[in-house]
Amino acid sequence: MNITHITNLFRAYFIENKKRLLICCLATFAALAFGFSFSAMPEITPFFPYLVLFFLVAFGNSSLIKNDNLHFNTLPASNLEKFVHAIFSIISLGVLLELFALAGACTGRFLIMPFLRSEINTHGYSFLSLFLMDLKGYLIFAMILALFLFTSIYFKKNAFLKTIGVSIGFNFGIGLYFLALTYISFRDEMYRNNSLNVNLAENQFFQAYWYLFPIAIVVFFLSLTYLRLRETEV
């Protein structure tokens, strides 16, 4: 693995996508500035940059296997180098969007809000508490990013919308499957007691090792992404 090749891929990616990245960064700044100017759901608004990141991952990393980015595909690089480049690109984009989001939030809260309201909310906002999540939150977003990274090179077109559609359908199907499985397994008990309470969250194993599941999902989709790249190697 050559670091120079990865650096060239990184540079080429930003050259090919500079307009899209600029629009997304400005949209993130504007959305956070608007949200914090009017106190419009400040607890939910910080999730906007993550949605933008999902969009960029779904559409931007299609250059890993497609021939629509000239600078990217003409560079000599192995699939492992492309894979490492994609991971570092996601991390860099996430940090960049968070910086624009924080700048937008501060602009809205401290520069725009005083001109729009005669009385400023004395409660204020804890920006660090809004933008910094706990371990569970980071693992959830890591799972979603790993999924979008894989589907970005799996679907030929409209990866973002197709991923959302497939995810909704998959979750709906899994839900129906577990409902049917629960009914078949415990229907006799349901007939006797007219009710059934199955709560896997109270299981001691799940409570102690809950983080293993999202980590396994992340590793699974990253492995699929690399294998997909290997399939396209000529």
- Average pLDDT in the 29-37 region? 86
The yes-or-no verdict on residue 106 having pLDDT over 70 is yes
Domains identified in the chain, total number: 1
Q: By percentage, how much of the chain surpasses pLDDT 90?
A: 10
Whole-number Cα distances in Å, 162 to 98, 158, 169, 227? 26, 6, 10, 20
Distance CA 38, CA 108 (A): 8
Q: Which residue did the predictor score with more confidence, 1 or 107? A: 107
Are residues 141 and 217 in contact, defined by beta-carbon separation less than 8 angstroms? no
- The whole-chain average pLDDT of the chain stands at 76
Could you list the residue range(s) of the whole structural domain that residue 215 is in?
Answer: 3-231
The answer, yes or no, to whether residue 152 has pLDDT greater than 70, is yes
pLDDT digits (tens, 9 = 90+) for 37-94: 876 556 667 788 988 998 888 876 555 555 454 455 556 677 788 888 888 888 889 9
pLDDT, tens only, 9-28:
888 788 878 888 999 999 99
pLDDT tier at 173, thresholds 50, 70, 90: confident
Amino acid letter at 131? F
Question: Residue 139 and residue 131: Cα distance in Å, rounded?
Answer: 15
Q: What is the pLDDT of residues 43-59, one digit of tens each?
A: 667 788 988 998 888 87
pLDDT of 205 > 70? The answer is no
Enclosing H/E stretch for 18: helix 18-37
Question: Which pLDDT belongs to residue 206?
Answer: 67
Q: Tell how many helices (H) and how many strands (E) occur in the chain.
A: 11, 0
Q: What is the pLDDT of residue 79?
A: 77
Percentage, residues of the chain above pLDDT 70: 72
